């Protein structure tokens, strides 16, 4: 509703504008210059009329040429809009479902999240590893929500951050003893591989159809090959028949160590702690470092000559 408002202008002088003044307030035409008004005088102004919202529907259609495209995302003009939207979306879900019951961190379902390189290919943005770590931390907290009360929208939002193949879902096929009483174990070391068959017997050993003394001339290699049986006092209770290939004598002997330990655990699973303490369960990933150009070996430099 229109009304009259009164304003007191704190200016030292105020001049009339010939275009803005009404006829009643316009100064006399014979005046040489506009008369100044003091700050004590009050000037009355009329407010704009009220907006009639009933006329809005009758407005003409907008001009498409003058239309401006408004981005759907508020972070469109940032350096990493997709990453920012993903992070803000996960944080919103966390605030929404933070009161749901959770499980212990060790009892939560094991999930293989995408690596930072895989996430960069997904969003097409140069996301830093430290920034992507923030996303992983929020995902781990959301993954602790009890699976029985997991909301469908939350499960769908977390699905895009999971790898296509979950390595934790792969169940290893259990090793069994065949009808002949043999247990098979495969071991590798460097470029050598060994397939070991273990059967109850009197302690006979055959490697590629030869005795262990013919295959390994060093005493250290012979002890390494049969170390799982010696560490558990089972040398005279099992027969060993193995096929080895690749590498040298040291690699083949240590490949036999791992293969024999795996086959022994099939016969007696309770020996795993003892074999682990003896160092027979873990695969040794070390390999010979390759030679580099300009060096005599992997890291050895030629002798320096002054002249």
**183 - beta bridge partners?**
198
Q: What mean pLDDT do residues 51-61 have?
A: 70
**Hunting for tokens 């929208």 — which residue is that?**
153
Q: Reduced to 3 states, what is the DSSP secondary structure of residue 202?
A: coil
Q: Answer yes or no: is pLDDT of 263 > 50.
A: yes
Q: Is pLDDT of 19 > 80?
A: no
Average pLDDT over the chain reads 85
Q: Which candidate, 34, 57, 142, places its Cα nearest to that of 94?
A: 142
pTM score above 0.85: no
Q: What is the mean pLDDT of residues 154-181?
A: 88
Lowest mean pLDDT among 21-30, 87-96, 214-223: 21-30
- Provide the token pair at 52: 């009639």
Please tell me the number of Cα atoms within 13 Å of 260 on its side-chain side.
34
Give the CA dihedral 53, 54, 58, 59, nearest 10 degrees: -10
Residue pair 90/113 in contact by the 8 Å Cβ criterion? no
Q: What is the pLDDT of residues 174-200, one digit of tens each?
A: 889 999 999 999 999 999 999 999 999
- Reply yes or no on whether the pLDDT at 44 is more than 60: yes
pLDDT tens digits along 199-243:
999 999 999 999 999 999 999 999 999 999 999 999 999 999 999
Query: What are the structure tokens assigned to 25, written together?
Result: 């307030």
pLDDT, residue 234, reads 93
Distance CA 263, CA 248 (A): 22
DSSP 203: S
The residue with greater pLDDT, 4 or 120, is: 120
Rounded to whole angstroms, the Cα distance separating 201 from 238 reads 5
Burial code (b: 16+ CB inside 10 Å, e: under 16) for 121-136 equals: eeeeeebeeebbeebb
For 182, 211, 212, the CA distances from 259, given in Å and listed in that order, are: 13, 17, 15
- 76-100 average pLDDT score: 90
What confidence score (pLDDT) does residue 38 get?
Answer: 53
Q: What are phi and psi of 33, to 5 degrees?
A: -150, 160
Percent of the chain with pLDDT over 90: 64
pLDDT tens digits for 270-294? Answer: 999 999 999 999 999 999 999 999 9
CB 107 within 8 A of CB 143: no
**Integer Cα distance of 128 and 125 in angstroms:** 9
Strand-strand pairing, 4-7 and 43-46: antiparallel
Block residue for tokens 């065949």:
178
The burial of 162, by beta-carbon neighbours within 10 Å (0-12 exposed, 13-18 middle, 19 or more buried), is given as: middle
Instruction: Return the number of other C-beta atoms located less than 10 Å from residue 26's C-beta.
Output: 13
**What phi, psi does 121 have (nearest 5°)?**
-70, -30
pLDDT reported for residue 9: 47
Provide the edge-to-edge strand list for the sheet that holds 238-245: 183-189, 192-200, 238-245, 205-207
* Residue linked to tokens 């004598």: 249
Condensed to tens digits (0 to 9), the pLDDT of residues 129-140 reads 999 999 999 999
CA dihedral 35, 38, 39, 45 (to 10 degrees): -40
């Amino acid at each position: 509703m229109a009304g009259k408002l009164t304003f007191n202008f704190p200016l030292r002088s105020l001049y009339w504008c010939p275009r803005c003044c009404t006829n009643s307030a316009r100064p006399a035409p014979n005046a040489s210059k506009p008369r100044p008004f003091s700050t004590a005088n009050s000037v009355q102004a009329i407010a704009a009329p009220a907006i009639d919202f009933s006329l809005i529907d009758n407005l003409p259609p907008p001009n498409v040429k003058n239309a401006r495209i408004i981005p759907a995302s508020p972070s469109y003009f940032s350096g990493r809009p997709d990453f920012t939207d993903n992070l803000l979306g996960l944080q919103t879900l966390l605030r929404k479902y933070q009161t749901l019951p959770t499980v212990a961190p060790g009892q939560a379902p094991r999930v293989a999240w995408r690596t930072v390189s895989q996430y960069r290919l997904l969003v097409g943005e140069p996301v830093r590893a430290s920034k992507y770590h923030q996303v992983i931390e929020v995902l781990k907290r959301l993954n602790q929500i009890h699976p029985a009360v997991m909301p469908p929208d939350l499960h769908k939002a977390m699905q895009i951050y999971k790898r296509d193949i979950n390595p934790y879902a792969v169940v290893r096929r259990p090793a069994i003893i065949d009808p002949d009483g043999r247990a098979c174990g495969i071991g590798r070391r460097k470029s050598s591989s060994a397939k070991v068959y273990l059967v109850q017997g009197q302690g006979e050993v055959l490697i590629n159809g030869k005795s262990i003394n013919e295959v390994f001339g060093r005493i250290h290699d012979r002890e390494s090959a049969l170390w799982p049986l010696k560490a558990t006092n089972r040398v005279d209770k099992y027969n060993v028949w193995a096929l080895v290939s690749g590498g040298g004598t040291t690699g083949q002997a240590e490949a036999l160590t791992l293969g024999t330990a795996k086959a022994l655990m099939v016969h007696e699973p309770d020996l795993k702690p003892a074999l682990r303490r003896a160092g027979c369960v873990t695969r040794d990933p070390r390999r010979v470092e390759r030679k580099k150009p300009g060096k005599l070996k992997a890291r050895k430099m030629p002798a320096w000559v002054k002249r």
